[in-house]
Amino acid sequence: MAVFCRDVMEAVEKIAPRELAEKWDNVGLLVGNPAEKVEKIIVALDVTPEVVEEALQEGAHMIVSHHPLIFKPLTHVRADTPMGDMLFKLIKNNVKVYAAHTNLDNYEWGTNYFLAQKLGLEETEILKPAEEGLYKIVVFVPRGYEDRVRDAMGDAGAGWIGNYSHCSFMAPGTGTFKPLEGADPFIGSKGKLEKVEELRLETIVPESLRNKVIRAMLNAHPYEEVAYDVYRLENNGSGNGLGRIGYLKEEMSLYDFGEKVKRDLGIKHVKLAGPLKKAVRKVAVCGGAGTSAMAAAKKKGAEVFVSGDIKYHEALEAWQEGLALVDAGHYATEWAVVPALAEYLRKEFNGTEQKVQIMVSQVKTDPWEVI
Ligand SMILES: [Zn+2]
C-alpha cells in the first residue's frame, strides 16, 4: 500500500498535534498536495536552498522540517529571490514541505525530551507545563461495541495518564430511545420505545486531541445519533509543555558541565554565564531560542539552564539571580529532534505493505561558524 502525503501529516501530528503550536507559529503542510503519493522523505531542521537541492538530488517527494519554510506572510513569489526560487523548484518538482515546530517543542516527548536525553539527564519532567485544558468524554455504547469504541478513542490519544494508555471507566445501565420518522435505527423500529443495555464509557483527553478523539469515537460507534458528553475539567496535567528539567548523574562544576555539553552535542564551543566553579546537578533545558522557559527554570530550582540564542541582558539578569547558563547555540540544542523524528516515522511506516524511505538531511544548516 502506498503512503500518501496526508498519511505522513497524520503520523507527525500524532506526536506534534497542531493545537500545541504557539499562536504566532506557522505549522503543518506549507507546500504541496496532501493527496499525492510519497515514497521518499527527507527530515531536516531547516528548509534552505541547499536542503531543497538535496531533496531534488535524492528524488525525495517530501521534506519534513522543524522550522517552517514560510513564516512571515509572503508578498510575492518571484524566482529571482531565494524564497521564491525555492518555492518554484519545490512546486515544479512536486516536493511537499511540512513543518512541525512549536507543536513538536511543546509535546511531552518532543524536542526537549531528546535534548535532555543527549545530555544524560535523569528523572526529567516538563519545565513549563502547557496551559492546556483537560476534558472528560462520556459516551453511551451498546454492549458488545465497548471494546471497539474504547480502542478507537485510546488509539486517537484518549486516556493517556503517565505511562498508561487507554485508561477508561465503564458502568452498565439502560438507555432508552424511540426512533422517529426518517430515522434509520441500528436497533429497534420506528415509533416504538426501545430499552437497550448500554455501557457508560468515560475517559479523559487533552484539549489538543479532543476533536480527533471525538471523531474516532463517532466513527467507531454503531449508532446513527451518538449520545455523548464533553466536560471541561479543573484538573491540570496534559503532560505536554516546554523544556525539561532533571538531574545529572553526578554533580560537577559549571566549567566541566560546559565541556560535557560540547561533547554530548558534538560542538566546538559553548558560552557559559555564572561562576565557573559553581557546582551543578539540577539542569533545565529548552532548545532553540528557549529563554521563554528561563523563569520556569529559576522557579523550579535549576542550577543551570541550557539553551540557545540567549541575549546579553537575559544573561546578566540570570547571573544576578544565581542561575548559571550554557548557550550551546540554536542549531545544536535542537538538532537531536531531527534523527529522532526520522526514526519515529520509520517505525510508523514499518508495515510490510507500506513503503516509504526516510532519510536525515546531510546539510548543516547552521549559519554560524565558530573559529
Ligand atoms: Zn528553533
CATH number for the domain spanning 170: value is 3.30.70.120
189 or 10: which carries more pLDDT confidence? 10
- Tell me the average pLDDT across 198-207: 92
249 or 188: which carries more pLDDT confidence? 249
First and final C-alpha spacing in the chain: 49
Q: How many Å lie between the centroid of ligand 1 and the Cα of residue 77? A: 24
Q: How many Å lie between the centroid of ligand 1 and the Cα of residue 282? A: 24
Q: Residues 139, 125: one domain?
A: no
Q: Which residue's C-alpha cell is 455504547?
A: 141
Q: How many Å lie between the centroid of ligand 1 and the Cα of residue 93? A: 27
Last residue of a domain, one of 191, 208, 232: 232
pLDDT bracket for residue 93 (50, 70, 90): very high
Q: Which residue's C-alpha cell is 469504541?
A: 149
d(Cα 260, Cα 321) in Å, to the nearest integer? Answer: 24
- Tell me the average pLDDT across 209-232: 93
Q: How many Å lie between the centroid of ligand 1 and the Cα of residue 196? A: 54
Q: Residues 30, 68: one domain?
A: yes
Q: Is residue 282 part of a domain?
A: yes
Q: How many Å lie between the centroid of ligand 1 and the Cα of residue 154? A: 31
pLDDT score for 163: 67
Q: Residues 216, 84: one domain?
A: no
Query: Mean pLDDT score of the chain, rounded to an integer?
Result: 93
pLDDT score for 177: 86
d(Cα 325, Cα 318) in Å, to the nearest integer? Answer: 8
CATH code for the domain in which residue 44 is found = 3.40.1390.30
Dihedral pair phi/psi, residue 50, rounded to 5°? -70, -35
Per the structure, how many domains does the chain have?
Answer: 3
- Tell me the average pLDDT across 85-92: 97
Q: Residues 221, 304: one domain?
A: no
pLDDT bracket for residue 138 (50, 70, 90): very high
pLDDT score for 19: 81
Q: Residues 147, 227: one domain?
A: yes
Q: How many Å lie between the centroid of ligand 1 and the Cα of residue 22? A: 13
Q: Is residue 113 part of a domain?
A: no
Q: Is residue 324 part of a domain?
A: yes
Q: Residues 97, 9: one domain?
A: yes
Q: How many Å lie between the centroid of ligand 1 and the Cα of residue 27? A: 13
pLDDT score for 3: 92
Q: How many Å lie between the centroid of ligand 1 and the Cα of residue 329? A: 10
Q: Residues 178, 210: one domain?
A: yes
Q: How many Å lie between the centroid of ligand 1 and the Cα of residue 185? A: 52
265 or 158: which carries more pLDDT confidence? 265
Q: Residues 253, 124: one domain?
A: yes
18 or 235: which carries more pLDDT confidence? 18
| Sequence-distant (≥ 6) Cβ neighbours of residue 14 within 8 angstroms | 157, 348
Q: Residues 248, 279: one domain?
A: yes
Q: How many Å lie between the centroid of ligand 1 and the Cα of residue 348? A: 24
DSSP 275-313: -TT-EEEEEEEEEEE-GGGHHHHHHTT-SEEEEES--HH
Q: Which residue's C-alpha cell is 533545565?
A: 284
Q: Is residue 114 part of a domain?
A: no
Q: Give the count of beta carbons closer than 10 Å to the beta carbon of residue 68.
A: 21
Q: Is residue 367 part of a domain?
A: no
Q: How many Å lie between the centroid of ligand 1 and the Cα of residue 96? A: 20
pLDDT bracket for residue 251 (50, 70, 90): very high
pLDDT at residue 250 is higher than 80: yes
pLDDT bracket for residue 233 (50, 70, 90): confident
pLDDT at residue 209 is higher than 90: no
pLDDT bracket for residue 95 (50, 70, 90): very high
At 162-190, the pLDDT tens digits run: 667 888 999 999 988 888 888 888 888 88
Q: Which residue's C-alpha cell is 543551570?
A: 304
Q: Residues 161, 214: one domain?
A: yes
Q: Is residue 42 part of a domain?
A: yes
Q: How many Å lie between the centroid of ligand 1 and the Cα of residue 237? A: 25
Q: How many Å lie between the centroid of ligand 1 and the Cα of residue 307? A: 10
* Domain limits for position 284: 120-129+241-328
